[in-house]
Structure 1
Amino acid sequence: MFNQYFIFLFLYNFGLVTCVPFFNPTNGGGSMLTNTQNGLGEPLNVIISGESSPDILTDHGSLNYFQAIGFSTECLGIHLGMPHTANLGDGNGWINQTTELREDYDDPIEGTCLESAVGGSHFRMFRQNGPTANSGALFLAVGQEESAAQGHNIVPDGYNKGRDSLVANAVGTLTYNGVTYITTMSRLTDLLAPGNQGIIHGIAQDGVVALLTVKIT
């Protein structure tokens, strides 16, 4: 993987490769864990491939896709808590999350208010677009959380459950707002170490990262 990273980087920077799925953040000095400002983080357990249709990798295009698979913007646009940062090894260093989306319970306007109350899946998104590894890939830290009454903590096995729920909604063919998406998935096992080392709440995860490639037809 180390040699592949630099081969891809050389070809990409000289215009000989137009896109790659992603660059391994750790090869560029980054991490597959976010940072919650206390030295712990959440696993970046889903990647939207840089080989997806270009519109999927934009802010507007990705939001439409995420709404198609059951996630939308936070309730009334209000975000509680500190944003996480991530270093995707692309030369940007540690940067704040691009956005945070929540399960919308089939209502992209008000459904995330229900998620905030009763719990469900959510994710933080980061874009790999720095000067040294510009894949355009979207890295997601997905988890399933408890209700507001329980402090919005991650449920037991919540990182695996959140990832698997998102993937189940995404894989296959979907149409939303007149756009048809075909999503395929590969399981990657060489990016994250399984276990709970460095992970907030001490919740173990299985080390699997889901790589989603999304094509617009």
Structure 2
Amino acid sequence: MVCVALLALLFGGSLKSATDFFNPTDGGGSLLDNAGGGLGEPLNVVVSGLSSPDVLTDDGIVNYARAIGFSTECFGIHLGDPQSANLGDGNGPQNQTIELRQDFGDSDIGTCLESLIGGNHFRVFRQNGPSADSGALFLAVSKEEDVSEGHTIVPDGYDIGRDALVAAAVGSTSFDGVTYSTTARNVTGLIAAGSQGVNHGIAQDGIVTLLTVTIV
């Protein structure tokens, strides 16, 4: 314990732990983000802190997203307020790092099509606070309606969005000369199944999928 305390002092009062992630609820956080009005969207996918470090950076998650069929928003334009999440890491509520949308096979302008006809998308939140610094990325994934429906979530859209992202991610993928190998494991007990507190009143099954992404 003395050695740990000395190391923590030397490294600014905290140590980065080699772990998949810390349970946000242990630190007063939640597996629901804050979408406003007292409701939230499930953080239903976690990119493990044990993934290759380059995947967990801002540029890294964007390149990985492009490898699995997502990209940055159409011409960099974001409509609507960002959502926030408390990951129980001592940082308190933090706005999403980035939002990425299904690109329909075109990483340059494909997300413009998603903005029109709907599709899958996800928000990224990083767990890197002083009390729980896993480096893991928590994703709020959902499938949304088209623009005429105001981009609301489709029925069962949280589970559908998660499962579609995972199906696209598992195995070997690549983009811009970087090849990824991804494994998935479902985790239960982090969030209660059902619709209580969930945005749009859409029930979800309580499963969070953990992705471990390795650059090969």
**Match for residue 30 of structure 1?**
29
Report SS of the residue matched to 1:61.
helix
How has the CA–CA distance of structure 1 residues 93 and 17 changed in structure 2, closer, same or farther, with 3 Å as cutoff?
closer
CA RMSD in angstroms comes to 1.7
Q: Deviations over 1:169-193 (max 9, x none)?
A: 0000112211110000000011110
Cα distance in 1 for residues equivalent to 2:154 and 2:137: 24
How has the CA–CA distance of structure 1 residues 93 and 170 changed in structure 2, closer, same or farther, with 3 Å as cutoff?
same
For residue 36 of structure 1, report the CA deviation from its aligned partner: 1.4
Q: Deviations over 1:25-52 (max 9, x none)?
A: 0000000001012110100000000000
Say whether residues 1:165 and 2:164 are aligned partners.
yes
Cα distance in 1 for residues equivalent to 2:174 and 2:73: 22
**Match for residue 62 of structure 1?**
61
Report SS of the residue matched to 1:55.
helix
For residue 16 of structure 1, report the CA deviation from its aligned partner: 8.3
TM-score, L = length of structure 1: 0.92
For residue 78 of structure 1, report the CA deviation from its aligned partner: 0.7
Cα distance in 2 for residues equivalent to 1:79 and 1:25: 27
For residue 61 of structure 1, report the CA deviation from its aligned partner: 1.1
Cα distance in 2 for residues equivalent to 1:87 and 1:16: 20
**Match for residue 6 of structure 1?**
none
Letter in 1 for 2:41: E
**Match for residue 86 of structure 2?**
87
Q: Which stretches of structure 1, 4 residues or longer, exceed 2 Å deviation after superposition?
A: 12-18
Q: Deviations over 1:5-38 (max 9, x none)?
A: xxxx99x958987511000000000000010121
Structure 2: unaligned runs, 5 residues or longer:
none
TM-score, L = length of structure 2: 0.93
> Does the Cα contact within 8 Å between 2:178 and 2:215 map onto a contact in 1?
yes
Once structures 1 and 2 are overlaid, which stretch shifts more, 205-214 or 170-179?
170-179
Say whether residues 1:45 and 2:52 are aligned partners.
no
Cα distance in 2 for residues equivalent to 1:130 and 1:98: 14
**Match for residue 114 of structure 1?**
113
Correspondences of 1:194-213 after superposition (within 5 Å): 194-213=193-212
For residue 115 of structure 1, report the CA deviation from its aligned partner: 0.1
**Match for residue 136 of structure 2?**
137
Cα distance in 1 for residues equivalent to 2:132 and 2:161: 27
Once structures 1 and 2 are overlaid, which stretch shifts more, 168-177 or 14-23?
14-23
Letter in 1 for 2:205: D
**Match for residue 98 of structure 1?**
97
Cα distance in 1 for residues equivalent to 2:141 and 2:125: 12
**Match for residue 122 of structure 2?**
123
Cα distance in 2 for residues equivalent to 1:192 and 1:171: 23
The count of aligned residue pairs is 208
**Identical positions, percent:** 63
Cα distance in 1 for residues equivalent to 2:111 and 2:123: 14
Cα distance in 2 for residues equivalent to 1:87 and 1:18: 19
Report SS of the residue matched to 2:31.
coil
For residue 151 of structure 1, report the CA deviation from its aligned partner: 1.3
Cα distance in 2 for residues equivalent to 1:60 and 1:41: 26
> Does the Cα contact within 8 Å between 2:195 and 2:202 map onto a contact in 1?
yes
How has the CA–CA distance of structure 1 residues 17 and 151 changed in structure 2, closer, same or farther, with 3 Å as cutoff?
closer
Report SS of the residue matched to 2:204.
coil
Cα distance in 2 for residues equivalent to 1:58 and 1:151: 31
Report SS of the residue matched to 1:137.
strand
